[in-house]
Structure 1
């Protein structure tokens, strides 16, 4: 399993070994990724697997080879940003 997080200035993917039946939250804890990125310590970030957000990482059991991803909050709504660009054009 892998746990991944990216900022514009830095990215990290941490490999973790987990027992069968482990959850996404367990993978995050075992990776100790919060030691590399302090902003993750609050726990207020979206969690996904291969680009798809999961609603309950505490109960989402992982399958072999899945990558758990932590997502930064959006700074601007993508729809609003596209609309603003379209109005400029």
Structure 2
């Protein structure tokens, strides 16, 4: 019979705000999904602004399109992404325009 520890994985769940971040180590059963690991970690209790139903989730910087289906492997770090407050292309355009104006004097 398999040892209970063999049926468990250690993963991390991470969330970061501009001036605060938290990485929680969580033991989960084999077959646990990305979504379930976040729920089981309790990180939503620490950061109540996280809406688990709409939050974008990923593993090591790569978005997971179906977090309720993607099973985790030992050592995975699940990341909870905050919504963007500005369109990156628009922000880049504004910086370039500002730099151009500064250069002109």
Tell me the TM-score normalized by structure 2: 0.80
* Structure 1: segments with no counterpart, 5+ residues: none
Output the CA distance in 2 between the equivalents of 1:41 and 1:83: 30
Q: Return the match for 1:57 from 50, 67, 77.
A: 67
Let me know the Cα RMSD of the aligned residues: 1.1
Q: Hey, which of these two has a bigger chunk of strand by percent?
A: 2
* Structure 2: segments with no counterpart, 5+ residues: 1-10, 100-105
Output the CA distance in 2 between the equivalents of 1:84 and 1:35: 37
- Give aligned pairs, total: 89
Tell me the TM-score normalized by structure 1: 0.94
Q: Return the match for 1:27 from 21, 26, 37.
A: 37
